[in-house]
Amino acid sequence: MSTIDELFTKLRSENRKALMPFITAGDPDLDFTAAVIEELVARGASMCEVGIPYSDPIADGPVIQESYTRALGRGIKVHDILRTLGAVALRVNAPLVTMVSHAIIYRQGMEKYADALQEKSIAGMIVPDLPVEESSQLAAICRARDLSLIQLVTPTTPRDRALKIAETSSGFLYYVAVAGITGERSAVPPELQERVGWLREQTSLPVCIGFGISQPAHVRVLGPVADGLIVGSAVVRRMAGAETSPRDQTLRQVADYVSSLLAALDGSLP
């Protein structure tokens, strides 16, 4: 079992759901990235997703795009990110996964990238631009190393295709709440619960919802129907304050925000 499999087995046995913050690596620098991960896990986050900055992100909205631009402007490198995450992974009791473009993996070499994650005790990768038709090789590489290959299902994904995606995924399925790009929304689509409910009946993989989740009200509505919730833009927007405000203050604001979501998630469960 991968560390993500172990996490969801434990959560299910305790009737709990995962809250997974997303943060951009290197914004404003990797020391702050490490500090945020450690604090969010200490507050109760089940897992952290770490975005590998990329110049042409596929589905990221303006908040995450701007954070990527800032990090790339400072010369962030993939090997530096993985070295930092490897050090953090030894200090936290929660899986870390990278959100990474397939173009980066391809350029690094699929086996080389997977070996680096395994060596650094990083639990897996989310690859938003990997077509299911081209995923079998990377899925096999990850499976041989007990890494999770997490793939996305969107509201426009046909049901037969969603099942194919589930077959080559591991760890969990990432269900995109809204068609379009990442970003904070005022409300969740009314049909989301039914769609996620159907998908959970088709696969043994946990199904986690991301894109647009930013408020405790969203968490209370979606907590009962998913295995986990992913919060990105709202976290990254608050982290950007580290550029202009004292870092300890920004860190506290980010952590307090995530704590409010955790409280809402716990309150939504029977």
- Rounded mean pLDDT of the chain? 91
Contacts of 173 (CB under 8 A, 6+ apart): 150, 151, 152, 153, 165, 166, 199, 203, 205, 206, 207, 208
36 membership: H or E segment, kind and range: helix 30-43
Residue 209 confidence (pLDDT): 94
Residue 169 confidence (pLDDT): 96
Q: Which of 234, 86, 230 is nearest to 171 (CA)?
A: 230
Residue 132 confidence (pLDDT): 94
Q: What's the average model confidence in pLDDT over 227-250?
A: 92
**Using an 8 Å Cβ cutoff, are 251 and 31 in contact?**
no
| Percent of the chain at pLDDT exceeding 70 | 93
pLDDT per residue as tens digits for the range 104-117: 999 999 999 999 99
Extract the tokens encoding 226: 């998913």
Question: For the chain, how long is the longest CA-to-CA vector?
Answer: 50
Domains of the chain: 3-268 (3.20.20.70)
Residue type, 24: T
Q: What's the average model confidence in pLDDT over 184-203?
A: 79
Contacts of 145 (CB under 8 A, 6+ apart): 114, 115, 117, 118
Q: What's the average model confidence in pLDDT over 180-188?
A: 50
Residue 59 confidence (pLDDT): 61
Task: Give the pLDDT band of residue 192 (cuts 50, 70, 90).
Answer: confident
11 membership: H or E segment, kind and range: helix 3-13
Contacts of 159 (CB under 8 A, 6+ apart): 198
- pTM of the entire predicted model: 0.92
Q: What's the average model confidence in pLDDT over 1-23?
A: 95
pLDDT per residue as tens digits for the range 106-152: 999 999 999 999 999 999 999 999 999 999 999 999 999 999 999 99
Residue 184 confidence (pLDDT): 47
Catalytic residues: 49, 60
